[in-house]
């Protein structure tokens, strides 16, 4: 199904939703409940939902008595090992009232570039979805190297959307829309719709932002959105607080229209947008 506008999200066959660390960790941990409520609502409509969730390192940090994201790889991996277990537990507890079972899928970008690993991952995901399980995907941070700091899972979410043939990708962030420049700067205006092929080079999305719990930023979301859109997948970028409205097809966020002549996933390369 090719979605032409946001309204199509309400009846989409298969949707990938990505949530970042800052939206579900620390003082925002309670937001897992509302996010799960929205996913369950879409699930009840018959939509097959895949959740790509960052947050393993951020969730593990308090258990390692860390008050800031560790800079060394070994401690990042240790935090991820502890945090991934707790993160999936929190999701499953939130899903329990809806009688939805979560299935953990840990991947690296390399898994999706290796034909055998990619095929195995696709088969497993298809079976999970066929069983009405909600896959929760994250990077395998415990064994990842440079991927552990790449794009806050935005690119991984775009690759997963291609892997499972999703109709749409919803990238949840801390702001309602993308802006033509950082929203705290004068002259910044919201970007509502991006047609496929639109030139975004004049927009100042900025570089990757690294905060106390994760990595990412507007640039990585724009880049991931272009990557998915090139493969024929519609993309919506909006705030995690608006996830219900987003999945109901309401007029929120920044909409990236899909390529009417999609590029095959095996030949799709990352799209660079202003340093993304």
3-state secondary structure 151-195: HHHHHHHHHHHHHCCCCEEEEEECCCCEECCCCCCCCCCEECEEC
H or E element at residue 14: strand 14-19
User: What are the residues facing 168 on neighbouring strands?
Assistant: 15, 234
Asked if the structure places residue 66 within a domain, the reply is yes
Number of folded domains that form the chain: 1
Reply yes or no on whether the pLDDT at 15 is more than 70. yes
Q: What number is the average pLDDT over the span 237-256?
A: 97
For residue 267, what pLDDT is reported?
Answer: 37
Does residue 275 fall inside a structural domain? no
Annotated binding site: 18, 54, 141, 153, 173-174
pLDDT at 239 over 90: yes
Q: Which of 100-114, 157-171, 208-222 has the lowest mean pLDDT?
A: 208-222
Q: Which domain holds residue 245?
A: 6-267
Q: What is the pTM of this model?
A: 0.89
Answer yes or no: is 51 within a domain. Answer: yes
The whole-angstrom separation of Cα 148 and Cα 85 is 17
Query: Diameter of the chain by CA atoms?
Result: 50
For residue 144, give the CATH number of its domain.
3.40.1160.10
Quote the CA–CA distance of 40 and 126 in Å, as a whole number: 19
Distance of CA 46 to the CA centre of its chain: 20
Binding-site positions for substrate read 54, 141, 153
The predicted structure's pLDDT at residue 264: 66
Does residue 57 sit within a domain?
Answer: yes
Give residue 145's pLDDT: 62
Is residue 190 assigned to a domain?
Answer: yes
Binding residues for ATP: 18, 173-174
Q: What is the mean pLDDT of residues 98-102?
A: 98
Would you say 69 and 25 are in contact if contact means Cβ atoms under 8 Å apart? no
The distance from CA 47 to its chain's CA centroid, rounded to whole angstroms, is: 17
273 within a domain of the structure (yes/no): no
């Amino acid at each position: 199904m090719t979605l032409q506008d946001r309204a199509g999200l309400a009846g989409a066959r298969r949707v990938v939703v990505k949530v970042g660390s800052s939206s579900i960790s620390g003082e925002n941990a309670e937001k897992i409940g509302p996010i799960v409520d929205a996913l369950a609502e879409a699930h009840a409509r018959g939509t097959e939902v895949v959740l790509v969730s960052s947050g393993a390192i951020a969730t593990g940090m308090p258990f390692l008595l860390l008050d800031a994201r560790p800079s060394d790889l070994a401690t990042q991996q240790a935090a991820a090992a502890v945090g991934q277990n707790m993160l999936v537990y929190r999701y499953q507890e939130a899903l329990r009232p809806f009688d939805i079972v979560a299935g953990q899928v840990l991947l690296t970008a390399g898994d999706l570039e290796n034909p055998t690993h990619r095929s195995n991952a696709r088969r497993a995901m298809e079976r999970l979805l066929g069983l009405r399980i909600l896959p929760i995907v994250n990077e395998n941070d415990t064994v990842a190297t440079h991927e552990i700091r790449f794009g806050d899972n935005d690119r991984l979410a775009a690759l997963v959307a291609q892997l499972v043939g999703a109709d749409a990708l919803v990238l949840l962030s801390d702001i309602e829309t993308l802006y033509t420049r950082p929203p705290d700067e004068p002259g910044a205006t919201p970007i509502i719709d991006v047609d496929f092929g639109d030139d975004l080079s004049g927009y100042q999305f900025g570089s990757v932002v690294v905060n106390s719990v994760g990595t990412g930023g507007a640039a990585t979301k724009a880049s991931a959105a272009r990557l998915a859109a090139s493969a024929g997948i519609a993309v919506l970028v909006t705030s995690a607080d608006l996830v219900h409205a987003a999945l109901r097809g309401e007029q929120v966020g920044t909409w990236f229209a899909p390529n009417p002549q999609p590029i095959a996933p095996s030949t799709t390369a990352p799209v660079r947008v202003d340093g993304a």
